[in-house]
Every structure is written in C-alpha cells, then in structure tokens.
Amino acid sequence: MSGTHNKAQLPSNPTLKEINWYKKQINWGELPPFYHLVASSVSESEGILEHGFDNAVKKIIDKRNWNLDILEGHEDASGEIHCVNKPRVALHQVFTDRGFELWTLPYAKDVTIDKYVKDNRFMEFTEWDPVSMKSLIRINQLHKFIGFYFERGDKADKALILHAHKVVHKIISFLQR
C-alpha cells in the first residue's frame, strides 16, 4: 500500500479495505462522515452474498420459494429441490432520493409484478413480497457522493465509486448464473 518515501498509494485494483486505508492516510487518520456513509453501504452490499443474514438475494435463490410446476422442478427423497429452469427476474438499477438501489421484480408469464403475490400459478415464485425482496441493495447517497467527487473529491473517492460499480456488477453477475 505504501510506495517510495512512505507516500500513501492505492493498488491498481484496490479492495474496500485498501481504499479506506488510503483515505485515512490522506485525511489525517480520519474517514469523513459522508465518505464513511457511502463506504459502509458499499461494504454491506459487498457482504450480501457471503454473510448468512436474511436478505433479498437469499430469498430469491431459496428454491423452497420457487414455483416447481413452472420451473419444471421436483423435490427428491432427501428433500433436495432440483429445477430444469430458474426463475426469471427483471433487474433495475435506479437512483432514488436515498441513493442507488438495485431492484428486482419477478415475472408472471411475461409481465413484471410489483406487488405482494402468493400462489399465483403464472408466477415463477410461490410468494413474492416486494417489501423484503424487491430492493437487493442500496448504496446510500451515492448520487450525491458522485457529484461531490466531481466538485472536490480525491483519488480515494473515485476509487470508492469504482469499487461500488464492481460490487453491483458482481451481484448482477451472480443472479445471472
């Protein structure tokens, strides 16, 4: 992380931890509150695939909530669910007043659904609750942080924005598998 003459530098493809370390080095050991807000949201989003907490992604990939009839699936004798197809979801990347959000909506036939639905024979999930399943991630105030970067941001701010993009792309890629 340090270069010649002990000057703080970022690696070419930094992790969030390395970006935060660099930000502290150029800010007298402190993380500014606005930076910290965005970095915390990125960190939370980054951990959504690894941590065991109940979240929207885990609910979407839970095969017990998949409509096995539509997806040509079955449950074997040991209780494991096997499906020929996976449920389709529409992904939307949006900026709201709260920040950047990645939304997902299920299909019923070829129409997206944005309301609570249970046991709909045309939907690829047995239950869809937009309150707990629609918003996959939120990066608080990212749109304002991007504006801040262009006004008076530094190298660490840019690295955080680029890292946020990579995290979103990783989640989208995961859902496409």
Share of the chain above pLDDT 70, in %: 96
C-alpha span between 80 and 28 (Å, rounded): 54
pLDDT for 52: 62
Contact indicator for 79, 133 with CB cutoff of 8 Å = no
Per-residue pLDDT of the chain (177 residues; tens, 9 = 90+): 544 455 778 989 999 999 999 999 999 889 999 999 999 999 999 998 887 678 899 999 999 999 999 999 999 999 999 999 999 999 999 999 999 999 999 999 999 999 999 999 999 999 999 999 999 999 999 999 999 999 999 999 999 999 999 999 999 999 988
List, as one string, the DSSP characters of 44-80: HHHGGGTS-S--HHHHHH-GGGB-TTTTTEEE-TTS-
b/e per residue 147-162 (b: at least 16 CB within 10 A): ebbeeebeebbebbbe
Can you give the pTM of this predicted structure?
Answer: 0.87
Strand pairing class (73-75; 81-83): antiparallel
The alpha carbon of 33 is separated from its chain's Cα centroid by a whole number of angstroms, namely 22
Q: 3-class DSSP state for residue 121?
A: coil
Q: Which amino acid is at 148?
A: F
Domain residue extents for the chain: 4-176
pLDDT for 9: 87
